[in-house]
A and B are shown apart, each in its own frame.
Chain A
Amino acid sequence: MTSLSLTSVPVFADYNSVLTDYNFQYTNYRAAYSRFTVSRSTYLTYQTLTAQNAAIADFKTVLTSRNRLVSSYFDLLQEKMNITPNIDPPDLQAFTGKRQSTKEWLDDNQKKLNNALTIEDLNTLSDEFNSRYQLIQLDSLQAVGRILLAKGANLDRKVALAFDKTQEVAQFLSADGTDISPIQRGLIQAKIKRDLSTDKAAEEKDLFFGKNATRGNQINLLQGQQLAIAANQYLRESVSYVLEILKPIIGE
């Protein structure tokens, strides 16, 4: 009989180090943004040269920290996808390409940022980021969608294996002279639940990668997470059915 592989996925050191860096960049960004809002307010109030220089310095810092945060976030998603089972290699490669493209754009933006001298220059560079932001959001939300779908697909694969194994046990019992009709009925019920889970997963996939998402509409991440949970719940019910089938066989 085939054996189910239920060992949990190991968390690689790369993921942990990238996560640490991401958290560090996030903290930096929040602090930089707070400083920027104060110096901007001071500059707009007093309009002095000193206040202007401080505002430009903090403006540069916050834009730099935002670029670093986005770059770090894409690294985090990449590592997360690498360690998540059941992500198709073409999907993984596609995200690697998007990550590379985003990082190149951020590098280019950063070079201009380093050379910027005036508030107008910085406003222009910030606007460039805003124009790019919609694509950054789409790429990152779709990467999260891939991770959520892969998690569900991984569990679904294990449930399918469990069905096969239960069927094997049923055949063994039948050969031993046991009436296996209750097992067959239970398996049909379990498969119906698994089909419902598949339907929810299809809705989830459509949310992240369907026409609405690619037309530039904001992907509703919470809705995607809720669909993933609904699919998960049906899988749970499916496994519970199979366990109920086994109870009388074991004599529980």
Chain B
Amino acid sequence: MADPLNAKPMEQKNYLLYIIAGALVVLIIMAVIGVVVGTALIVNFQRNLKPVATTKVEPTPTLTPLPGKKYASDSAVVKLRDELIKLRTEIDTMDYFEAQIVPPSLDSKIRIE
């Protein structure tokens, strides 16, 4: 026979079960939120990280072999260079706004009325 003094009422047992179940649910929700927020923070942190500078090895351009100063005193080449410089100066100094040949400003309607 059950001890009537130790026996808990049925309503009190149910009440305890509800509290334990509620606490478990709250813990689970908090754990889920913690995981989500934690993940977001980690991702954001990684995005804000500055990229580490890397050294790229650029290919060295292959230079066309130049004749160097072999023709520096070649009369034909030097003469051509000098003539081109003169020609460029002539182009630079060409006057296309020659004021002398612009038509004179005339008063075409000269009348007394």
Contacts and interface: CB of A to CB of B under 8 A. Distances in A.
Given A6-B86, A77-B101, A239-B84, A62 B110 contact: yes
Given A232-B91, A236-B92, A251-B67, A69 B104 contact: yes
Contacts of A159: 87
Contacts of B64: 179, 181-182
A246 B77 contact: yes
B78 interface: yes
Contacts of B103: 73, 137, 140-141, 144, 221
Contacts of B96: 148, 151, 225, 228-229, 232
B58 to A, nearest CB: 22
Contacts of B6: none
A123 B67 CA distance: 77
Contact of B76 (A1, A62, A155, A181): A1
Chain A interface, DSSP helix/strand/loop, else mixed:
helix
A19 interface: yes
A62 B112 CA distance: 12
Interface string B18-44: 000000000000000000000000000
Interface of A: 1, 3-4, 6, 8, 19, 22, 26, 29, 33, 36, 40, 43-44, 55, 59, 62-63, 66, 69-70, 73, 76-77, 80, 119, 122-123, 126-127, 129-130, 133, 137, 140-141, 144, 147-148, 151-152, 155, 158-159, 162, 165-166, 168-169, 172-173, 178-179, 181-182, 221, 225, 228-229, 232, 235-236, 239-240, 242-243, 246, 248-251
Interface of B: 64-72, 76-78, 80-81, 83-88, 90-92, 94, 96-98, 100-104, 106-113
26 contacts: A6-B83, A8-B90, A43-B112, A55-B112, A62-B110, A66-B110, A70-B104, A123-B111, A123-B112, A123-B113, A126-B111, A129-B108, A141-B103, A144-B101, A151-B94, A151-B96, A159-B87, A162-B84, A173-B67, A221-B102, A225-B97, A242-B84, A243-B85, A250-B72, A250-B81, A251-B71
